[in-house]
Structure 1
């Protein structure tokens, strides 16, 4: 097919670059911490089965232990009460997992205010400059938070008993869910909602509104600074866990370079 041949040629000649947006997955990967009495997910752990030894002389392999929502991961609609009758992660249409990306950069605002909440006016201002959000695509919310992702304490940024990380206002979450043409919303933080989202109404508005509308979440992204505001093609590859509420994912973008 000419289109695929053209893509392969562009990749070989570096006219199209593949940008990895995935955080490495290891025992040190930051993990969301919910306060008591709520249950928490396990972190990531490798358990060695054999490594060229008497347990298996010619092969190396491991068991993996991890929660669905660890590291760079997808939130399926059924992850939240509002979307409980929606698709599980294995049921997300492939056309949702490959789509155009709009990158909205609010890193300067977040640098001054880690509790910053994205508003409808912020998105509309972006649209006035770059055009409408992509139909069936993804809105990627750049905050600069990926610079903290190597350290759990800095990444979760807890002080005075609360996590201070950026997120989205309830009004904007509802607008993205009901009026924006996107299929999914991605962030650099540990979750799609702000650290103090339990204080908002509704609580955790991104989870409540977007997942309730059948849209997907994508968290702990890296390298959004390497993407243009428009024009990148996003590829999201979760594990098809039957009935799962989410999955760690490899996420990357095709970017055309001059």
Structure 2
């Protein structure tokens, strides 16, 4: 297969997957205090000759990305980023087992070092995505997971891990922290310490992701779409994983193992 420029392979060398939930008010959990999410019919084919919905929600409802100005005073806002800030090499850190044992688990520097020992160095300016398994709770009260005092219990990155990624250049002027939870911060941290570390320079967050089983541990890219609002703090989005047909991790081809029940695991 050749691309539009006549080069071999082109898009045929990539598998494209969606890492985003469908934006649906009936299922989309809201972060405590966020605006209500509504979809209402504004026009119908029978009445108006075309179909149209009116959307009302916060910029950070559902699957979305956050711009530096979401937390950083004077930080770049959505319309001050460039497309390259939203197109990043991706690594997926599998912490599902740890989260199953501790719903408040924090991805540690040791987790990142262990990942690199197996898959190679995290690329500079990468999107480092925590695969916690939390997206299985989507559409239920177990997703925000509030306790009797209204405190939220979700896994996230530890501040030390975020500082290590930034200090070593793995999160450079560009890069991202991503998760299949409300965001990179542990749910119990009302100070948002990890976000405050992240949103210097042009780094972004990727939040409420799903389908992370389709993303290899390394060797893929992520591309965040969505509307770019004037002076926006981010955007509800479809986030795509762009995966080479034969992805490599740390220079090694990722082996696919088929389980007895038919599931495949990388």
Q: TM-score, normalised by structure 1?
A: 0.87
Question: Are the counterparts in 1 of residues 81 and 202 from structure 2 also a CA contact under 8 Å?
Answer: no
Partner of 2:263: none
The CA deviation string for residues 6-45 of structure 1, in whole angstroms up to 9 with x for no partner, is 22333xxxxx321110011011210100xxxxxx221321
Partner of 2:41: 48
SS at 1:46's partner residue? strand
Question: Are the counterparts in 2 of residues 174 and 205 from structure 1 also a CA contact under 8 Å?
Answer: no
Partner of 2:23: 25
The CA distance in 2 between the partners of 1:65 and 1:233, in whole Å, is 30
**Following superposition of structure 1 onto structure 2, how do residues 84-95 of structure 1 map, counting pairs within 5 Å?**
84-95=73-84
Partner of 1:186: 178
The CA distance in 2 between the partners of 1:160 and 1:222, in whole Å, is 27
Question: Are the counterparts in 1 of residues 35 and 57 from structure 2 also a CA contact under 8 Å?
Answer: yes
The CA deviation string for residues 89-111 of structure 1, in whole angstroms up to 9 with x for no partner, is 12222112112111110001001
The CA distance in 2 between the partners of 1:208 and 1:144, in whole Å, is 24
The CA distance in 1 between the partners of 2:179 and 2:204, in whole Å, is 12
Q: By how many angstroms is 1:187 displaced?
A: 0.5
| Structure 1: tracts of 5 or more residues without a match | 11-15, 34-39
Q: By how many angstroms is 1:226 displaced?
A: 1.4
The CA distance in 1 between the partners of 2:52 and 2:74, in whole Å, is 37
Deviating above 6 A after TM superposition, structure 1's stretches of 4 or more consecutive aligned residues are: none
Partner of 2:131: 142
Q: TM-score, normalised by structure 2?
A: 0.84
SS at 1:234's partner residue? strand
Is residue 222 from structure 1 mapped to residue 225 from structure 2 by the alignment? no
Indicate the RMSD between aligned Cα atoms, in angstroms: 1.5
Partner of 1:79: 70
Q: By how many angstroms is 1:73 displaced?
A: 0.6
Q: By how many angstroms is 1:2 displaced?
A: 4.1
| Structure 2: tracts of 5 or more residues without a match | 247-266
**Following superposition of structure 1 onto structure 2, how do residues 160-199 of structure 1 map, counting pairs within 5 Å?**
160-161=148-149, 162-182=151-171, 183-198=175-190
The CA distance in 1 between the partners of 2:40 and 2:156, in whole Å, is 35
2:143 to 155, 159, 163: 155
The CA distance in 2 between the partners of 1:237 and 1:18, in whole Å, is 14
